[in-house]
Structure 1
Amino acid sequence: MENFVGQLGYGSVVPEGGDDLELRTASARTLAQVKSRRDHMGPFSARSVAGFVTKMWEGKGLPGDQFLLVLESNVGERRTAIRQLQDLSAYPTVVAQLKGSKGLAGLIARTKVLVLPDPRGSAVVQISARQACTAFEAEMYFADLLGVVGHLSDDNGTRAENAYLGLAVSDVQQRFDALQPLLTSALVEAALIEGLCSAVDFLTSDEAPLFYLGVDAQASHVAAGLVVERPELRAAVLQGLESRRNALIHGASGSGKSAVLWDVAYASRHAVRWFQVHRLPPTAVSSLVQLARSRRATVDAPVGFIIDDVGRGFSEGWTALTAEVNRTPGLLLLASIREEDRYPLVDNRRAAQVKVQGDDTLAERVWRELRDRGQDARQF
């Protein structure tokens, strides 16, 4: 999208060409690698970024090639909110790690680093401005492009180097022009306008000073780094979503179900377009399905719905939505439920069920946070 709106100035993009991406102009090309990082691994270190750069340089590049490393967050920063494009020379700690490459100064001069913390969100903003459309319509344009890029990536994996297929600026405009007449905002946005659900905001953080005194976890708390990471539970839920497309996190009150739920959503935010369900009478499920279809939900680019605490008036809606998820590829359902509410839940066996229990690590982290904040742990 940055090429399409002129921010990077390339004429076409070739996915899975000479590298993760080839960015081409009429007379030159840039080889790009794209790197993201799970939160539990910490920020990108100067050493790891130097390794990415070295790997790019050691590829099958041509003498005149430029290089671009795209990072989800800046070097040494756990999370970054600002897009930033800089020469590699602006990162002295990374440059200091680069040794032994022939023509090092020339390679450094031909290499840039793009920090892009929210590719999807940035693309939606750019499409909305370029097409003069709503953000919801921009999401549909973006989903369509995502499908095209996915097919090109698969196709290029079997092609010779001189036969790679790409997506040019004119191709993007053609896709947009073809899709535009199909958009009917009132129908597409019904689930959003009526307050059935809303897109999850993973960028806004909330430091929530009372969080460790028992505040219900939200996406903003994960973004702020407040949630205790439980990687084994996260992996189990992600596996359940992959195998059944429907994961149900259950456990006693206070065991940390919501925290695990939002941690899973945050970890998968680059692959899944998540919406949080606020109310869901069974008759309204069709509006959610229509919303997902309008986003061109596919197995490779799914749309997911989150219900935090199914027992709080969502039981019938969860059952109806489960039936839709079961027969509609590209839909995901992620939910939490108290132990006592799980047993009467109809069709609960259709979901991959993951039990959450309190543990010593969680208890110690909460105790330390309360102590450091000067809050009375007896209030928790």
Structure 2
Amino acid sequence: MNSRIYYNSLLRQARPLIAFTILAIGLYSCTTSAGSESIGAPPPQELPVLTLTNTAAVTYQEFSATIEGTVNVELRPQVDGYLEKIYVDEGAYVTKGQLLFKINDRSYASQFTTAEATAHAAQANMEKAAIELNRIRPLVQNNVVSDVQLKAAQASYEAAKASFEQAQSATNNAGISLGYTLIKAPVSGYIGRIPFKAGSLVGRGEALPLTVLSEVNNVYAYFSMSESDFLQFTSHTTGKTVDEKIKGLPPVELMLADKSIYTEKGKVEMVQGQFDKSMGTISFRAVFANANGILRSGNTGKVRIPHTNAAVLAVPQQATYELQDKVYVFTVADSNKVVSKPIGIAGTSGVYYLVDKGLNAGETIVFTGLDRLRDGAVIRPLPLSADSLRKAMPL
């Protein structure tokens, strides 16, 4: 009995606490529900989008090239001797006929003087034989002396004449050798490396030339095409023959080693007659004007052959992303949901990819903010004008 009274007393004391707990739970539930309704789902993010249209664009095929002067002359000594003087420095510009080197000429000058003296003596002997012949000829006619003497005088004159001609030839050869001691520029151009110093013994057997003289008012850019590139060139370029196709090519550009474009455009002039079997390539030659001497023999770069595309889809590169060696864009589908698509790239033009697969004209793609997107995400599109975009970012 006392236990029941004690239990009832505890229950009466706990009722206010139970009621308060139930009330607190109810208030918390209402507050949570109201808070959820007030926050709600986040609104779609606003992102710029671009509707694609066909446009004309120029693409380039690039081929590694080496530059050479139109004339590269190896200057080699034609006579042996000590290099007495060097009149120019490496890298200097020289004009045709300018004196460049001098080989010690004392021995050659002596040989020339000796040859001249021998020639003068031979000339004197020839003149003496001619006088004797002219003296005997009328005597034979008058039967004063026999015909045998005339024939002997004639033979002496012919022998003297031959000796004189031989001496003249020796004099000319000595003069040529003496002239070879002075080495002059055969063309105007730039002096290359000079591996010898004054006092060096040089001669015709030297492996190295005295220098290489490059005429670079115009330069040649040599580049090669693979067999597949060459077949594409022959099938896509107008003309019946290869020569006609080369003449029909537009002016080409030269990209220098620092990625800048050379100011002058060039012209493809010729293609070799056969493929290199070891490399599987065929060589072309383009010529570029070089009046300012910016290009030198030994420069490298890339020859860029332009191709005009009448109607292609130009997609800004910043509107794409790469994944596992593929390039993707986010297209805007129904209900403004985005869907990723891989695209095929036919080439580049400026900051644009030229797309030939995966997209069609009229489709809309997300321009920026791709790093915050996932397939199926809903966005609020902010349309951009393709024309105004190309004015700001030209092809």
Question: TM tier, shorter chain?
Answer: under 0.3
Instruction: Compute the TM-score of the two structures, normalised by the length of structure 1.
Output: 0.21
| Structure (1 or 2) with the larger CA radius of gyration | 2
Instruction: Compute the TM-score of the two structures, normalised by the length of structure 2.
Output: 0.20
Larger RCO (CA within 8 A; separation ≥ 6): 2
